[in-house]
């Protein structure tokens, strides 16, 4: 695959951003795309009175970008690399870059914020607002203690909601699996046991056959996978219909996975603001593997 659109990675000199940089290099090389390294410098206007009149910052005079150049020195395996220095609030500037990128890459936390946070506010804002898929790379050493028993080998995980699917998420996951030579593990969760409100105002369990629910969920998932399998015949894809919380299942599946792919909420008439969604939010916080958040199809309908 090649594209004129770059893979854009945000760096700020932190260990997390430099770790994300390594992932961005591999991603750009795998996709045959140029790599654009961006440093957004945030200055307080009252502390820098000449910011508005000085023009755009010079990428040749940026210590953070110089650090990246130093890491790249002598390497012959790099894609085409360019550097950009920008000014403003990273949570506002970085999402705007998504309109001219095939992928945005950043670490889960940068230099700002509280040390104990699992996900920084800038990472959250970019994953929520960017027009392109966003790859968030977790801190090194993040562990998931409850994994799944799976055969070894490279694996991409994708979550699918059979009641409200989005073709863009599956399309991205299949492409990544093909580029990586990995198999695709599809997780379709269904709530169990099913409950409804009783006359007393409490939850009452419904008498429904679990096997029937699982089979229906798997059948729906297989139907959604079918058109993507025809486009990517070399990708082995397995549909797993599993009871439980979707976020917990995806986090468990992230152990030893190369990538987890999740969708972003569509805008709705009564909720027009962009939202990540509770499942995607939880996966970003706790997954051991890098997570890609894919925006919904532009039309809001499924292909």
Per-residue confidence (pLDDT) for residue 111, from 0 to 100: 53
134-137 and 291-294 as β-strands: parallel, antiparallel, unpaired? antiparallel
pLDDT band per the 50, 70, 90 thresholds, residue 79: very high
> How many domains is the chain built from?
2
Give how far Cα 181 sits from Cα of 84, 147, 232, Å.
32, 22, 11
pLDDT band per the 50, 70, 90 thresholds, residue 113: very low
Q: Are residues 130 and 101 located together in one domain of the fold? A: yes
Mark which of 137, 163, 186 sits at the end of a domain: 137
Q: What is the CATH number of the domain that holds 161?
A: 3.40.50.12370
Residue 148, in any domain of the structure: no
Interatomic CA distance for residues 1 and 33, integer angstroms: 8
Q: Measure the CA dihedral 266/136/22/1, to 10°.
A: -20
Picking from 176, 144, 131, 143, the residue whose alpha carbon sits closest to that of residue 157 is 176
Q: Are residues 267 and 225 located together in one domain of the fold? A: yes
Q: Are residues 162 and 116 located together in one domain of the fold? A: no
Residue 147, in any domain of the structure: no
44 pLDDT higher than 60: no
Q: What is the CATH number of the domain that holds 116?
A: 3.40.50.620
Phi, psi dihedral angles at 8 (to 5 degrees): -105, 130
Which structural domain, as residue segments, surrounds residue 178? Answer: 155-294
Q: Are residues 167 and 286 located together in one domain of the fold? A: yes
Residue 300, in any domain of the structure: no
Interatomic CA distance for residues 192 and 214, integer angstroms: 10
Q: What is the pLDDT of residues 170-191, one digit of tens each?
A: 999 999 999 999 999 999 999 8
Interatomic CA distance for residues 136 and 140, integer angstroms: 12
Answer yes or no: are the C-beta atoms of 39 and 63 closer than 8 Å: no
Mark which of 83, 108, 137 sits at the end of a domain: 137
Q: Are residues 13 and 114 located together in one domain of the fold? A: yes
Q: Are residues 215 and 118 located together in one domain of the fold? A: no
Instruction: Please give the helix or strand (H or E) that residue 5 lies within, else none.
Output: none
Averaged pLDDT for residues 59-75: 90
Q: Are residues 133 and 211 located together in one domain of the fold? A: no
| Crossing angle between the packed helical segments 15-31 and 167-180, to the nearest 10 degrees | 80
Mark which of 108, 137, 166 sits at the end of a domain: 137
End-to-end CA distance of the chain: 22
Q: Are residues 132 and 187 located together in one domain of the fold? A: no
Residue 97, in any domain of the structure: yes
Averaged pLDDT for residues 265-274: 53
Residue 220, in any domain of the structure: yes
* pTM, full prediction: 0.85
Q: Are residues 278 and 168 located together in one domain of the fold? A: yes
Q: Are residues 95 and 178 located together in one domain of the fold? A: no
Interatomic CA distance for residues 287 and 158, integer angstroms: 12
Q: Are residues 195 and 285 located together in one domain of the fold? A: yes
Residue 143, in any domain of the structure: no
Interatomic CA distance for residues 6 and 8, integer angstroms: 6
Answer yes or no: are the C-beta atoms of 294 and 264 closer than 8 Å: yes
């Amino acid at each position: 695959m090649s594209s004129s659109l770059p893979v854009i990675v945000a760096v700020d000199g932190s260990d997390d951003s430099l770790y994300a940089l390594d992932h961005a290099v591999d991603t750009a090389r795998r996709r045959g795309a140029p790599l654009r390294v961006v440093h957004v410098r945030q200055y307080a206007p009252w502390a820098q009175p000449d910011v508005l009149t000085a023009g755009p910052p010079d990428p040749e005079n940026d210590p953070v970008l110089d650090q990246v150049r130093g890491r790249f020195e002598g390497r012959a395996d790099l894609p085409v690399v360019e550097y950009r220095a920008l000014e403003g609030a990273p949570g506002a500037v970085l999402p705007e870059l998504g309109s001219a990128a095939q992928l945005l890459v950043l670490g889960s936390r940068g230099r700002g914020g509280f040390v104990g946070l699992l996900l920084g506010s800038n990472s959250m804002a970019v994953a929520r607002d960017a027009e392109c898929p966003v790859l968030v790379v977790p801190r090194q050493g993040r562990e998931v203690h409850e994994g799944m028993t799976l055969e070894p080998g490279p694996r991409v995980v994708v979550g699918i909601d059979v009641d409200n699917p989005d073709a863009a998420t599956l399309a991205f996951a299949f492409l990544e699996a093909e580029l990586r030579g990995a198999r695709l593990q599809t997780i379709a969760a269904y709530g169990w046991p099913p409950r409804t409100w009783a006359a007393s105002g409490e939850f009452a369990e419904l008498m429904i056959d679990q096997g029937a629910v699982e089979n229906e969920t798997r059948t729906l998932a297989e139907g959604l996978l079918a058109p993507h399998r025809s486009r990517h015949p070399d990708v082995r894809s397995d549909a797993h219909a599993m009871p439980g919380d979707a976020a917990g299942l995806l986090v468990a599946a992230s152990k030893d996975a190369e990538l987890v792919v999740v969708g972003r909420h569509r805008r709705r008439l009564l909720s027009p603001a962009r939202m990540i969604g509770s499942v995607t939010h939880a996966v970003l916080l706790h997954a051991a593997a890098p997570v890609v958040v894919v925006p919904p199809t532009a039309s809001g309908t499924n292909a």
